[in-house]
């Protein structure tokens, strides 16, 4: 018997050592000297207590509803922060003022918005123009809701949105920073 050394006369441990040594040799040649060990990057997760939330105020006068809703949804979700995580609520609070002065571009004033009341024969609809005239807060809220996730997390995000039809809001104590959502001209 050869003692489990195979046909070459070397042990499997010795063959593994040869492979590792050759790898280290290649590593030394590539790096140009001593073998270097690199630290692995750690994935950090966000803890709810460590999140710093800011308050932003957006003046919606003269801004198209879709552009407003898209950029506000990004801030609510926290995608503008380096600590963004898909599974955590890291977004900021957003106050939208002058919701009655938003703009509907193209033929969107005549487009219908549909929803269901939950009752039989409960399909409801209203044109965007009529909704803007009667309840602009609801129009902006529906647009932002359409751009947030439809999950428990999305409902939590949506609670941080405050919309007001006029220029006044009761959140002055939070000292909100202005957020510019206008299209930048190049």
Which residues in 110-137 are b (16+ Cβ under 10 Å) and which e? eeebeeeeeeeeeeeeeebeebbeebbe
Cα separation of 172 and 55, whole Å?
10
Distance of CA 107 to the CA centre of its chain: 30
Q: How confident is the model at residue 26 (pLDDT cuts 50, 70, 90)?
A: very low
Max CA distance (Å), the chain: 95
CATH 2.30.30.40 fits 51-178, yes or no: no
pTM, entire model? 0.74
Do the Cβ atoms of 109 and 87 come closer than 8 Å?
A: no
Mean pLDDT for all residues in the chain:
85
Domain ranges within the chain, ordered by starting residue: 8-42, 51-178
Tally Cβ neighbours within 10 Å of residue 86. Answer: 10
Mean pLDDT highest for which of 28-32, 40-44, 169-173?
A: 169-173
């Amino acid at each position: 018997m050869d003692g489990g050394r195979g046909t070459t006369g070397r042990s499997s441990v010795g063959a593994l050592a040869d492979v590792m040594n050759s790898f280290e040799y290649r590593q030394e040649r590539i790096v140009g000297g001593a073998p270097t060990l690199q630290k692995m990057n750690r994935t950090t997760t966000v803890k709810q207590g460590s999140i710093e939330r800011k308050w932003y105020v957006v003046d919606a006068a003269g801004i198209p509803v879709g552009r407003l809703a898209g950029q506000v949804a990004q801030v609510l979700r926290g995608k503008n922060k380096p600590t963004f995580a898909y599974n955590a609520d890291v977004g900021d609070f957003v106050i939208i003022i002058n919701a009655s002065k938003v703009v509907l571009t193209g033929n969107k004033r005549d487009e219908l918005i549909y929803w269901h009341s939950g009752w039989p024969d409960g399909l409801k609809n209203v044109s965007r123009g009529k909704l803007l005239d009667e309840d602009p807060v609801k129009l902006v809220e529906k647009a932002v809701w359409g751009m947030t996730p439809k999950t428990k997390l999305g409902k939590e995000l949506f609670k941080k949105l405050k919309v007001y039809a006029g220029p006044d809001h009761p959140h002055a104590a939070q000292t909100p920073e202005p957020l510019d959502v206008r299209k930048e001209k190049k």
